[in-house]
Homo-oligomer: A and B are copies of this chain.
Amino acid sequence: MKPVIILVTPQLGENIGATARAMLNFGLDGLRIVNPRDGWPNQKALDMAKGAAIVIEKAMLYTTLADALADIQWAIAATARNRDMHKPIYHPATCTDTLITHSRAGHRTALVFGAERSGLTNEDITLMDAILHIPVSQEYPSLNLAQAVAVMCFCWFSTLSSSSSAANPTSLPSTSTPAPKKDILAFFEHLEKELEKSGFFSSAHIRPTMAHNIRNLFQRLAMTEQEVRTLRGIVRSLAKGRG
């Protein structure tokens, strides 16, 4: 399973097209787009993609990031800003190695990029397994969206090319299938609904921050499907006992 690229609310068609081109240069063709600002299809994206127009034509459109991530089992978010979250921060090489390890285990992975101006929200990032920091010069750290995608697609392809004949250096136990994001999101929603009912959130004001912290906490578990089922069972059981 090759990684997919997810663009969240991209603004410029040119950047979507340049993303598609860089993807296909480096052997990737699964593009998912969440709420593009200028609608869809986008002629500027097609023009810019040139010979990679096929990537644009078969790109999948979503209205929420949660939908775009539904079947994904490991997701990493590119972000320039520091987030006050307890979440592993990966550099490009580590990110690439982890993507390849998951790919070889047959897991569905995603590299997620936010909008040009604003990036990803903290809410978006709660669904991620890790944060990607591309090292940039502090003198001018503003990396163009398609350039960031190009750098990561290059890292993936060149690492894969150079390691394809070598023995697989790391592997995951075959019994631990990471849960797809839709299961994890359903667990979060289940948990939060029960917490809401239970009066856990002392005020509406504090609720988003508390919910984010809880999501980030559980996200770090990198849960398997079985573990998600177990946790949901626990929540269900606790809620039932209270009710």
Contact = CB atoms under 8 A, between A and B. Distances in A.
Contacts of A154: 92, 134, 151, 154
Contacts of A92: 154, 158
A158 B133 CA distance: 11
Contacts of A24: 137, 139-140
A21 interface: yes
Nearest to A50: B142
A136 interface: yes
A141 B91 contact: no
B27 A158 contact: no
Residue from A27, A51, A92, A135 with most neighbouring chain B CB atoms (10 Å): A135
Contacts of A150: 147, 150-151
Protomer copies: 2
A162 B133 CA distance: 13
Contacts of A103: none
A139 B27 contact: yes
B144 A18 contact: yes
B22 A144 contact: yes
Contacts of A142: 25, 50-51
A78 interface: no
A151 B25 CA distance: 12
A135 B137 CA distance: 25
Given A18-B147, A150-B147, A151-B150, A25 B140 contact: yes
A162 B140 CA distance: 19
A157 interface: yes
B144 A21 contact: yes
Closest 7 pairs (CB-CB, A-B)? A27-B137, A24-B140, A147-B150, A151-B154, A135-B161, A135-B158, A25-B136
15 contacts: A21-B140, A21-B144, A21-B147, A24-B140, A25-B136, A25-B141, A25-B147, A50-B142, A51-B140, A51-B142, A92-B158, A135-B161, A146-B147, A150-B150, A151-B154
